[in-house]
């Protein structure tokens, strides 16, 4: 993608950009020329991501479940660059438990990071984006479109992200802000591998089962990043309110 620099002059904010899908998006959008700002609660991961990408990337530590942190991060980006053109809401956590087994604080954590965090970052970024228009991509999940075992809070959160996307697209289309959702299948990330530990599963068997889909492999962060790029670039000027499944055919 080194020859493609069509996002030059754009400022992209990516939550959860210190690892996994968020990191993949940060790298790909930076390669396309965007000035990328990573928001992550993990300071070491965020700084390592900036060093690893090595171009047009900066880091702000922030907890997306905190209104004060989201407001501060958006204000810092706006103050530094004068604009926000792209927002990728990628921060998320998972707890593999049923509603019976979930502790209330675990439910709150999953909903606060994945769903409330998407709301808060959008709440503060959209007034800045309204100046020039822009694009928001919310990272959902296949489990936001169907149920999954022992993942009640995660399914609820991602289902909320999917329909929140549609509502935002309706509300903010008049301001020339497009809002779409990418729903990944199982992607080889630290979050996916954390599920192995939570479930006490055999890692080899777990990953083999996760890869059991028509395209016969796990996803990679780059697979998701390319879909996000499509949705934030000029390749999709009339696409908003869309739910794009990127899962190797798993839902099919």
Residue 191 maps to a domain: no
Catalytic residue positions, numbered: 154
160: nearest Cα among 152, 171, 150? 152
| Reported confidence tier of residue 55, pLDDT bands at 50, 70, 90 | confident
Residue 28 maps to a domain: yes
The pLDDT of 76-99, averaged and rounded, is: 98
Residue 17 maps to a domain: yes
CB 68 within 8 A of CB 117: no
The pLDDT of 54-66, averaged and rounded, is: 94
d(CA 252, CA 245): 10
Residue-range definition of the domain harbouring residue 100: 11-185+221-246
Give 180-228 pLDDT, tens digit per residue. 999 999 999 999 999 999 999 999 999 999 999 999 999 999 999 999 9
Predicted local confidence at residue 5, as pLDDT: 80
Predicted local confidence at residue 54, as pLDDT: 83
Predicted local confidence at residue 44, as pLDDT: 97
Residue 181: give its domain's CATH number.
Answer: 3.40.50.720
Q: What is the DSSP letter of 174?
A: G
Residue 120 maps to a domain: yes
Predicted local confidence at residue 2, as pLDDT: 46
CB 131 within 8 A of CB 237: no
Per DSSP, the three-state class of 89 is strand
Q: How many domains does the chain have?
A: 1
pLDDT at residue 3 greater than cutoff 70? no
Residue 236 maps to a domain: yes
Write down the number of H helices and E strands in the chain.
9, 7
Residue 234 maps to a domain: yes
d(CA 16, CA 64): 9
Residue 82 maps to a domain: yes
d(CA 147, CA 137): 22
Give 13-52 pLDDT, tens digit per residue. 999 999 999 999 999 999 999 999 999 999 999 999 999 9
pLDDT at residue 1 greater than cutoff 50? no
d(CA 252, CA 222): 21
83: nearest Cα among 24, 45, 134, 32? 134
d(CA 102, CA 157): 14
Give 111-162 pLDDT, tens digit per residue. 999 999 999 999 999 999 999 999 999 999 999 999 999 999 999 999 999 9
* H-only helix segments in the chain: 20-31, 43-53, 67-81, 104-111, 117-129, 152-172, 190-199, 203-210, 221-232
Burial code (b: 16+ CB inside 10 Å, e: under 16) for 161-172 equals bbebbbebbeeb
Q: Hey, how many other C-beta atoms are within 10 angstroms of the C-beta on 5? A: 12
Among the residue ranges 44-58, 84-98, 217-231, the one predicted with the least confidence is 44-58
Residue 208 maps to a domain: no
């Amino acid at each position: 993608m080194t020859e493609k620099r069509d996002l030059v002059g754009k400022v992209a904010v990516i939550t959860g950009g210190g690892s996994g899908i968020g990191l993949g998006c940060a790298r790909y959008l930076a390669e396309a020329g965007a000035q990328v700002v990573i928001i992550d609660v993990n300071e070491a991961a965020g700084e390592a991501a900036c060093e690893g990408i090595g171009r047009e990337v900066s880091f702000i530590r922030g907890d997306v479940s905190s209104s004060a942190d989201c407001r501060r991060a958006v204000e810092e980006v706006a103050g530094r660059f004068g604009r926000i053109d792209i927002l990728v809401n990628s921060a998320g956590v998972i707890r593999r438990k049923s509603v019976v087994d979930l502790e209330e604080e675990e439910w709150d954590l999953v909903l606060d990071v994945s769903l409330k965090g998407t709301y808060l970052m959008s709440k503060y970024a959209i007034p800045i984006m309204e100046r020039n228009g822009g694009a928001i991509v919310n990272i959902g999940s296949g489990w936001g479109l169907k149920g999954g075992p022992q993942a009640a809070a995660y399914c609820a959160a991602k289902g909320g992200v999917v329909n929140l996307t549609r509502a935002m697209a309706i509300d903010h289309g008049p301001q020339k802000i497009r809002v779409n959702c990418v729903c990944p299948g199982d992607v080889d990330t630290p979050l996916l591998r954390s599920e192995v530990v939570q479930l006490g599963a055999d890692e080899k068997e777990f990953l083999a089962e996760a890869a059991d889909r028509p395209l016969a492999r796990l996803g990679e962060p780059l697979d998701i990043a390319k879909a996000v790029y499509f949705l934030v670039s000029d390749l999709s000027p009339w696409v908003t309110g869309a739910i794009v499944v990127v899962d190797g055919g798993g839902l099919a």
